[in-house]
Amino acid sequence: MTRTDRISLPLGFDVPEGWLAVEPEAVGAGGAAFVAIRPDSVQSLGGNFTPTITVSVANRPDSASLLGIADEAVTRLGRTMAELDVLSRQEGAGEVTQVLRIVTPAGLELAQSQVHLVIPGANGLADRVVVELACTSTPQQAASAVGEFQRFVASFHVRSPAAVQPSGNNSAENKEYPQ
C-alpha cells in the first residue's frame, strides 16, 4: 500500500483489559487499521479461536448510506465464508450495528458484532470517513467478548488534534491508517 492510500486521523479508544494490540498483518488482517486479540480466552472461555477486535477506516466520497455500507460489509465477508447470516441489525443516529453468524470454509462457527460509523468531513462527502469496528469470537466466547467490545466501542472517539499526545499501551495514538 502506498502512502497515498492512507488516512491520517487522530482516533482514540481504550483497549479492554486482557486484550493485546497486534500488527494487523501478523493475524492476516492487513487491511485493518488496528487489531487486538484476547490470547488467554482460548483456554479460559473455550473454543479453538482467538477473539479479535478490528478497526477499519476508509474514505467514502460517494453517496452510499451507512446502511448500504453495512450491507457491503456483509457481502464482502460473505464471499470468503461458507455461510453467513445477519442475526440482527439496528440503525441509530450516525451508526449501524449488526450481529452476524459466520461459518468459515473449515466449518468453524463464529459470531461477529460490527459497528459502522461515519466521521463527516469538512467538505461533505468529498472527505467523509467510514469506520468499521468489529469483534469476532466463537459463540461460547461471545458472552465475555461482546461486553468487552461494547466498552471498546463506547470509548471510541476522534481526538481534537491539539489533544493528541503519546499514550500508554491501552490507548490508540495519532497515526495513519490504511484504507
Closest CA to 24 of 56, 50, 48: 56
Strand ranges for the chain from DSSP E: 6-9, 11-12, 20-22, 34-37, 52-59, 83-92, 95-103, 109-121, 124-137, 157-158, 175-178
Please give the DSSP secondary-structure letter assigned to residue 172. -
Per-residue tens of pLDDT for the chain, all 179 residues: 222 345 567 888 999 999 999 999 888 888 899 999 998 765 555 567 899 999 999 988 888 999 999 999 999 999 999 999 999 999 998 899 999 999 999 999 999 999 999 988 777 667 788 999 999 999 999 988 999 999 999 999 987 654 434 334 444 444 444 54
Which residue has cell 488467554?
A: 40
Neighbours of 139 (CB within 10 A): 12
**Contact (CB, 8 A) for 46 and 140:** yes
CA-to-CA distance for 16 and 20, rounded, in angstroms? Answer: 9
**Contact (CB, 8 A) for 52 and 34:** no
Q: What is the reported pLDDT for 102?
A: 97
Angle value at C-alpha 153, between 149 and 155, nearest 5 degrees: 115
Q: What is the reported pLDDT for 179?
A: 46
pTM, to two decimals: 0.82
Which amino acid does the sequence have at 117? L
Q: Which domains does the chain have, with CATH numbers?
A: 17-155 (3.40.1000.10)
CA-to-CA distance for 174 and 91, rounded, in angstroms? Answer: 29
- What cell numbers appear for 152 in the block? 471498546
